[in-house]
Structure formats: structure tokens, C-alpha cells
Amino acid sequence: MPPLHRYERLDALRGLAMLWMAAFHFSFDLNFYKLLPPQNFYNDPFWTLQRTAIVSLFLLCAGASQALAHEAGQGARRFWRRWAQIAACALLVSAGSWFMFPRSWISFGVLHGMAVMLILARALSPLGPRWLAPLGVAAVLLPRFVQSPLFDNRWLNWTGLVTHKPVTEDYVPVLPWLGVMLIGLALGQWLLAHRREVMAGPLPRGLAPLAVLGRWPLSFYMVHQPVLIGLTVAATMLR
């Protein structure tokens, strides 16, 4: 199958999410190494709402990308090759977080969630926006009404049906976040069918660097934190 056509507007939106994520993580690193006035990244709405917005933007873009892949007839081989890369990086994140935060290591963060949700989104793609949109809304709302202590452990908290958030540095469970990806998938399919120019239209020249960045989300995700942490540690040594 030939390479998928690039939709630069979607790439640029993903690139914006990546820069926002990097700024958020850099702030976290500066706070962790006490180079900022003390901040509460776990409870302060200024930070928690930003995190929610960043993850939501990433998953909306991932859903829209799956709409493009579905329309282009992306083969199983290409899909599973990319999936294996994401899953391998998720394992590396778990290992790295255990080294830095042994009491709150990441067992199911954004890459773990992406690996599971991409499989579900690919399987549900043929339903089309008429069914995907309500399924997405239902997935977002379900954890508000269905919770059980049975899921309050590392083996099952990936479902999202927990009674309290686990102690971990990153937590992106299947529910409610699958709903955000499905909404992105439904929106992407609807735009391709009815307003293709919204996704396929030209990108302003000044935003071209964002589009270039947005083509490398996994590489950027895996590299940016080691670089930022290295810069932060260097700054502490020069104080």
C-alpha cells in the first residue's frame, strides 16, 4: 500500500499538543528539582486541567488519524508494526518511571492506553460516526456511574472503573479516554465525508514547523523528557 497522504492541519494540531506537553513536563521537572516555587501538579486545577486538555488533544488527533487510516485501507501489517512500537515504548516508560519513582511508577500511562485504545478504535471504525459518537460519549460517562473496589489494583485499574485514582505518575485508563479517541474518530470520519476541506485544506506557512513536528509524536515523546531532565539537572549543578 502506498504511504498515507499527509493532512498537514492534523499534523500541526498534533505538533501543538506536543509542544504543550513538553512545556508541561518541563514545568514538572523544574518543580521536582526545586527550581520553581513549589507547585502541586497532582491537585492544583491549573495543572490538572492542562493535563486533561493535553491528553484529550492527543487522543482526538489519534482518533482522527485512525479515520484517515480507515479510509485509506491501512493494512494489518502497517497497523501492527506501529502498534508494536507504541507497546515497546510503553514498557520502556514503565521501566524508566520505576527507576525514578519506585513508589508511583507508571503501569498504565498514555502509551499503554494508546496501545489498547488503538486496537479498539480500529475494530470499531466500520461503525461510522452515527454509532461512534454516542459510543464515545457513553465511554466518557461510564466511569462516573460504574465503579468498584474490585478495580482498585494495578492488574485491573487500566479499565478506569476505579473508586479512586491510583498512586502513579501517569494514568490514562481505557475509560473514559477511549471515549475521547472514539469522538475524534467519529469527527474525523464525518469531516472526511462532509467537510474534507477542513482537514485537507492548506496550512499557513508559519505553522509548517508544527506540522513537521507533528509527524514524529512517538519519537518526540520518548526523547523530550530525558533531554529536559538533563537540562534541569545541569541547571541545578550550576546554581
pLDDT tens per residue across span 23-55: 999 999 999 999 999 999 999 999 999 999 999
Q: Radius of gyration (Cα) for the chain, nearest Å?
A: 18
Give the Å distances, CA to CA, from 9 to 12, 61, 128, 153, 203.
5, 10, 22, 40, 6
pTM: 0.93
* Average pLDDT for the chain: 94
Reply yes or no on whether the pLDDT at 21 is more than 60: yes
